[in-house]
Amino acid sequence: MNVLKTTYDVVIIGGGLSGLTASIYLAKAGLSVLLAEKSTELGGRALTMKKNGAYLNLGVHAFYQDGKGEEVLRELGVELRGANPPASVAAIWNNNIYSLPTGPIQLLTSRLFSLTGKVGLAKFMYKLGKIDTSKLGRISFREWAEREITDPMIRHVVYAISRTNTFVPHPELHLASTAVRQLQRTFGGKAFYMDRGWSSLVNDLKQRAERAGVTIMTSHSVGEISSSEDGFQLRLANGDSISASYVIIATGPADACKLVKGAAQTSLVHWKEEAHTIKAACLDLVLSRLPQSTSSFVAGFWLDAPIFYNNPTSVATHSEDGDLTVIHMVKLLGKNPSNPKEDERQLEQALDLIQPGWRKEEKARQFLPRITVSNDFCSIDKKGIYPGPEVPEMKGLYVAGDWTGHEGEVLVDTVLASARRAALAIINQHANNKGAG
C-alpha cells in the first residue's frame, strides 16, 4: 500500500495509457511521481472487461505497428503478445458482401470492380507503398484521394478503409499525410490484435511504473489545479491537497479546462474549442462460436454507412480456454444526438448480414451507446500547430493524450508519443532548473 506524500516533483492526472507511459519515463529519470486516477481501475479507454469468461475491449482495438506507438513501447521494453490478422476483409455494398481483393487472383475474380477498376486498384496498391507521405504537403485526404483515384468505387473503398483504420469519418478535414501513412500500414499488414485485449498492455505499463517507483493512486479524482510562483497545488476530491513542481494533465481537453483554475486565460480553452471529437456506438459480443466459420472475414466495412465489423479472436486469444469468439460492431456517430436503441438495432442487423445465426450463439454483450473514440485527430485546420506538450501560459503545466497529436500520428500513436513528449520536456526543464539553481 502506497503512502501518499504531500509533495511530488510531478503529479500526473489520468491513469490511461498516456498517464502511465509518461509516469515511467519520469520515474526512470529520477523524479518523484504521483499518478492519480479517478476510476477504481487504471486503463481509461484501453480497459478490457471480463464477461462470461471472455476479454472484451471497449470496442474494437487494433494496435498499428511501425509507428511512434511501437517506438515508445520498444523504448520502455514492452513486448506485445498477439498476432497480425490475415488480410481477409469484406466490403459490404447494397447489402451484398464482397471479398476485398488482397492479391492478384482475388483481384481478377472480384465482383466489386469493373475491369478498369481492377486495373486501377492494382496500380493504386502498387503506388501506395511508394508514397513519401512527408512530401504530400498540407492537403486534405479528400483532396488527395480525388486527385489520385479516378475510379469512384476504389475511392469508396479507400474512404471506408480509412475511416475503419483511423475512426475519422471526415476526409475533407483529415490531413492527407497522416491518413495515407495509416493506409500504408494497413496494406502493409501492420494491424495487431493483443491476446486478452488491451488490459494486457495496461497491466504491463502499470508493473513497469510501479517498479520505477511511481506512486499510483486509483479512486483519487483531482478536483482543481492552481498555480503559483512556487509550483502547483492540487486539490483532490476527498479534500487532500498535494503540491508539485510539474503537472501533466492526461485526461481529455474538456476535463483539462475544468481542472485548471484560470484555464480561460490559457491555450487549453482554444485547444478544446478546436478539437474534433469522434464518437461511436459499439456493440461488443461474446459468442460461443462463429456461426459462419466458412466465410469468416476478420474484418468488414460497409461502403454506404460508417459501420464496421471485426473478429479479433480469429488470431488473438480473448478467453481463458480460447474457445469463445468476440465480435465488435462499430458505428461512427455524427455531431447530432443519436438514438441508442436504433443504433444497437442497426448494428445487430448489420451482423445478421455478415454472420447470420449469431443471435443463437450470444453469451454476453456490452453496448456502448456514445463513447469517445478520439478527442481529436490530425486535421488540416490546425495549420501545423498542435496542442502541447507545454501549456505556454502556465510554466510547468503539460498535456498528453489523443488531442495533442502531431502530423503522422493516429490513435494510440498520438497517446504514447505525446506522453513521451510531455515527460521529456519536464525532464529537460527540471535539468535546466537544477542547473540554474
Would you say how long the chain is, in residues? 437
Site map 218..247 versus ligand FAD, x via CB under 6 A: ---xx-------------------------
- Give min distance, CB of 59 to ligand FAD, in A: 2
- Report the residue from 11, 36, 56, 157 that binds ligand FAD according to the rule CB under 6 A: 36
Selected binder of ligand FAD within 14, 388, 405, 408 (CB under 6 A): 14
* Cβ distance to ligand FAD smaller for residue 61 or 430: 61
* Shortest reach from residue 388's CB to ligand FAD, in Å: 12
Instruction: Give the Cα separation of 189 and 209 in Å (integer).
Output: 31
- The alpha helices in 266-371, defined as continuous H runs, are 267-274, 340-354, 358-361
Binding of ligand FAD by 17 (CB under 6 A)? yes
Question: Among the candidate windows 95-103, 132-140, 407-415, 422-430, which touches ligand FAD by CB under 6 A?
Answer: 407-415
One residue of 39, 84, 110, 184 binding ligand FAD per CB under 6 A? 39
- DSSP letter string over 265-278? GSHHHHHHHH---E
Name the minimum Å distance from CB 242 to ligand FAD: 12
Helix (H) or strand (E) holding 160: helix 152-166
Q: Can you tell me which of 33, 248, 282, 351 binds ligand FAD, judged by CB under 6 A?
A: 282
Q: Which of 131, 364, 371, 424 binds ligand FAD (CB under 6 A)?
A: 371
DSSP letters spanning 51-69: ETTEEEESS---EE-SSHH
Closest by Cα among 436, 418, 431, 429 to 396: 429
Minimum distance of ligand FAD from residue 318's CB (angstroms): 15
Q: Where does this chain touch ligand FAD (CB under 6 A) — which range of 30-38, 86-94, 136-144, 351-359?
A: 30-38
62 binds ligand FAD (CB under 6 A): yes
Nearest by Cα to 82 from 363, 317, 332, 403: 317
38 is a site residue for ligand FAD (CB under 6 A): yes
Alpha carbon distance 230, 244 (integer Å): 9
Binding flag, residue 46, ligand FAD (CB under 6 A)? yes
- For residue 383, what are the CA distances in angstroms to 170, 270, 375, 388, 393? 16, 14, 18, 15, 21
d(Cα 347, Cα 305) in Å, to the nearest integer? 11
Q: Which is nearer to ligand FAD, 204 or 402 (CB)?
A: 402
The span from the CA of 246 to the CA of 232, in Å, is 7
**Number of chain positions touching ligand FAD (CB under 6 A):** 35
Which residues have a Cβ under 8 Å from the Cβ of 323 and sit 6 or more positions away? 288, 289
Residues between 162 and 191 with contacts to ligand FAD, criterion CB under 6 A: none
**192/244 Cα distance (integer angstroms):** 38
CB 195 to ligand FAD: min, Å: 15
Q: Which three cell numbers stand for residue 34?
A: 504521483
Position 412 contacts ligand FAD (CB under 6 A): yes
Contact residues toward ligand FAD (CB under 6 A) are: 13-19, 36-39, 44-46, 58-63, 221-222, 250-251, 255, 259, 280, 282, 371, 373, 401-402, 411-412, 415
